[in-house]
Amino acid sequence: MEKKRIFAGLLSAFIMCTSVPAVSGIAAEGADNGTEIIYSADFEDGVNDFTGRDSANTLTISDSGANGSSKCMVCSGREKNWHGPQILLDGMCEPGVQYTVSAWVKAAWYNEINISMEYTDESGERHYPSLKSVVSNGDWVEIPEVKFSIPENTTNNYIYFQCNDTADISVDDFVIQTAPVHQIQEDIVSLKDAYSPYFKIGTAVTTDELAPQSTKNLILKHFNSVTLGNELKPESILDKNACLSLAASGDDTNPQVNLASARNILNFCRDNDMPVRGHVLVWHSQTPDWFFKEGYSDSGSWVTKDVMLKRMENYIKNVFAALEKEYPTVDIYAWDVVNEAWLDNGSPREPGGYNQNPETSGWVKVFGDNSFIEPAFEYARKYAPEDCMLYYNDFNEYMPQKTEAIYKMAMELKEKNLIDGIGMQSHLDVGFPTVSSYEKALAKFASTGLDVQVTELDITTTDTSEVGFKKQADIYKGIMDACVKYSDSISAVVFWGTTDDKSWRASKYPLLFNEDYTAKDAFYAIVEGIDPPEYVLGDVDMNGSIEVSDLITVQKYLVKKTDLSEQKFKLADLNGDGTVNAYDMIMLKRILLK
């Protein structure tokens, strides 16, 4: 309700200060999906709230609009790729709400035009997530409704247009509206409940993906583990400015970290008692080159192995310390210590910087081989909380030579009590690998005696017909059956994403839920025949027994610290009067006191 009023207020404010919206009749409500236009400009009467990203840029109105309108906005004087028109979102868009932006764009000659966001996080670092690119041949091209949200605790949020040379960019029919809100299906079985006798069921989210309330609801209903999609990776939490200032005072071996970009998701996990998989400490990818270089400079020389060992130790130490300090109550039950160190042929990656070639490894460049793996686990063991399990994580883990390399490494680390488990990413396709070759790798890893976690499961399909999705469902069922078969060795199965449209492989529909949050055939296939356990009234945590923790959960709900899923609410409503209140607490206490 509150939000509606804000939007309505904003809408009238913008109607006064912008041109007539592109949608005639000032449609505040989208036709049938509950969306609301909060800003629109067709540039018939000026550039409205747009400015140039650089003082060299000029914005003018030209007489050649898109979609038959008479005028559009043109940005000229662009000297750099990133120059272009921008609009400030602060005060217009609320953090945590999902919006869409659409526009028509044209470049003066053949060009790729990109629409991006910019924001500054709490630590003062600026981020530039790209939203969409389209190609203009000197003609008008539509940027269809692209989803975005502004993260919490950020300032200077902009949407801007850029293109890969200095061509003029024209923009018309620019619209920002709230994204459709979908209800999740409450009447289907919860995945985490269905699989609770076997293992945790997790998902991965990025800050942007978590923004819609529907995603939060979906996660609370189906998952009991969250992996941060990007926000705990070195490139997200390394604080370059803090590293540089410490280096200036003489210490260039103590990389500083900042959890700003992880906060949205970690706050959600903290507030909802959601266990977290930490991902990832040591990786060749999404780790800036400067981390491995003299003076923390991309153009510096590679540091020595000794310096890098110190940087590695301090980085790992600082990550655990920051999480312990800021999120002492979040259960980070597992960490991927090293990710993707072995190639399919069982050898280490080629040495080299990520900037030049994202497949090469800065770690191998400094260490000469994969000998960085063992110290990474040593330091993780030294600084991780005692109950946090430590994993080696990789993809194509079913390629025979890779399986062998991982197995051998894991056994050596196990011997030294440095590793707790192997993470199988499991980015699969309906055509490859076969369920039996996947199961073979699973069996091999289980035979180490270590824990196994499926850490990033998604299964792509290019056949989007009914038959195609049925085939996808069959493969999903095969993989999940294999996991159940080895469930004594598996503590979590994590899907890499929530709804198909938000997947990193969105064009191949790899997940269990459609864009509108409805369950796909794959969902029904993997819960079929898996009987969810029956819970007794009062077992609010749904762990099979009534304990003090159930009381605490109800207490937290009553003081509005947490929300309860529909099922937990029913288990907490002991007197069945449709509310959860002090009377239910008293009944729960009585049960506990027998």
225 binds ligand GLA (CB under 6 A): no
CB 541 within 8 A of CB 549: yes
**β-bridge mates for residue 499, sequence order:** 513
CA distance 481 to 98: 36
Catalytic residue among 94, 231, 397, 456: 456
Give the shortest CB-354-to-ligand GLA separation in angstroms. Answer: 13
Q: Which residue is nearest to ligand GLA (CB)?
A: 504
Looking at the Cβ atoms of 338 and 410, the one nearer to ligand GLA is: 338
Looking at the Cβ atoms of 288 and 532, the one nearer to ligand GLA is: 288
Looking at the Cβ atoms of 432 and 504, the one nearer to ligand GLA is: 504
CA distance 367 to 305: 6
Give the shortest CB-520-to-ligand GLA separation in angstroms. Answer: 20
CA distance 209 to 213: 10
Residues sharing a CB contact under 8 Å with residue 200, sequence separation 6 or more, in sequence order:
192, 224, 225, 275, 491, 492, 493, 494
Task: Give how far Cα 370 sits from Cα of 23, 310, 367, 400, Å.
Answer: 58, 17, 7, 19
Assess whether the previous peptide bond of 533 is cis (omega < 30° from 0). Answer: no
Centroid of chain to Cα 127: 15
Chain positions 413 to 432 lying near ligand GLA, rule: CB under 6 A, are 425, 427
Looking at the Cβ atoms of 395 and 517, the one nearer to ligand GLA is: 395
Looking at the Cβ atoms of 217 and 453, the one nearer to ligand GLA is: 453
Looking at the Cβ atoms of 425 and 460, the one nearer to ligand GLA is: 425
Residue with tokens 């110190």: 310
Give the shortest CB-456-to-ligand GLA separation in angstroms. Answer: 5
CB 464 within 8 A of CB 433: no
- Number of residues lying near ligand GLA (CB under 6 A): 7
Binding mask 142-181 for ligand GLA (x = CB under 6 A): ----------------------------------------
Chain positions 521 to 560 lying near ligand GLA, rule: CB under 6 A, are none
Looking at the Cβ atoms of 231 and 451, the one nearer to ligand GLA is: 231
Give the shortest CB-425-to-ligand GLA separation in angstroms. Answer: 5
Give the shortest CB-393-to-ligand GLA separation in angstroms. Answer: 6
Give the shortest CB-504-to-ligand GLA separation in angstroms. Answer: 4
Chain positions 443 to 482 lying near ligand GLA, rule: CB under 6 A, are 456
Task: Give how far Cα 161 sits from Cα of 67, 103, 104, 175, Å.
Answer: 19, 10, 11, 14
* Structural element, H or E, at residue 15: helix 2-17
Chain positions 61 to 80 lying near ligand GLA, rule: CB under 6 A, are none
Looking at the Cβ atoms of 194 and 441, the one nearer to ligand GLA is: 441
When binding is defined by CB under 6 A, the residue of 161, 395, 469, 513 that contacts ligand GLA is 395
CA distance 258 to 364: 26
Give the shortest CB-277-to-ligand GLA separation in angstroms. Answer: 11
CB 184 within 8 A of CB 477: no
Give the shortest CB-356-to-ligand GLA separation in angstroms. Answer: 19
CB 268 within 8 A of CB 220: no
456 is catalytic: yes
* Structure tokens belonging to residue 540: 């609010």
Catalytic residue among 118, 231, 340, 439: 340
Environment class of 545 (CB within 10 Å of its CB; exposed 0-12, middle 13-18, buried 19+): exposed
Residues sharing a CB contact under 8 Å with residue 230, sequence separation 6 or more, in sequence order:
206, 236, 261, 286
Binding mask 476-515 for ligand GLA (x = CB under 6 A): ----------------------------x-----------
Looking at the Cβ atoms of 109 and 504, the one nearer to ligand GLA is: 504
Q: What are the CB-based long-range contacts (under 8 Å, 24+) for 471-477?
A: 471/430, 472/430, 472/509, 472/520, 472/521, 472/522, 473/520, 473/521, 473/522, 473/524, 473/525, 473/526, 474/525, 475/428, 475/430, 475/435, 476/512, 476/522, 476/525, 476/526, 477/522, 477/525, 477/526, 477/528
Looking at the Cβ atoms of 35 and 425, the one nearer to ligand GLA is: 425
Q: Which residue type is seen at 298? A: D
324 is catalytic: no
Give the shortest CB-497-to-ligand GLA separation in angstroms. Answer: 8
Q: Percentage helix, strand, coil, to 5, in the chain?
A: 35, 25, 40
* Structure tokens belonging to residue 512: 């269990």
Give the shortest CB-510-to-ligand GLA separation in angstroms. Answer: 11
- The DSSP secondary-structure symbol of 533 reads P
CB 247 within 8 A of CB 302: no
Q: Where are the alpha helices (DSSP H) in 289-431?
A: 305-326, 362-367, 373-383, 400-415
Chain positions 335 to 394 lying near ligand GLA, rule: CB under 6 A, are 339
* Structure tokens belonging to residue 112: 């790729």
Give the shortest CB-423-to-ligand GLA separation in angstroms. Answer: 9
Looking at the Cβ atoms of 336 and 573, the one nearer to ligand GLA is: 336
Q: Where are the alpha helices (DSSP H) in 140-239?
A: 191-194, 207-210, 213-222, 234-237
- Active-site residues, by number, are 340, 456
**What is the contact surface with ligand GLA in residues (CB under 6 A)?**
279, 339, 395, 425, 427, 456, 504
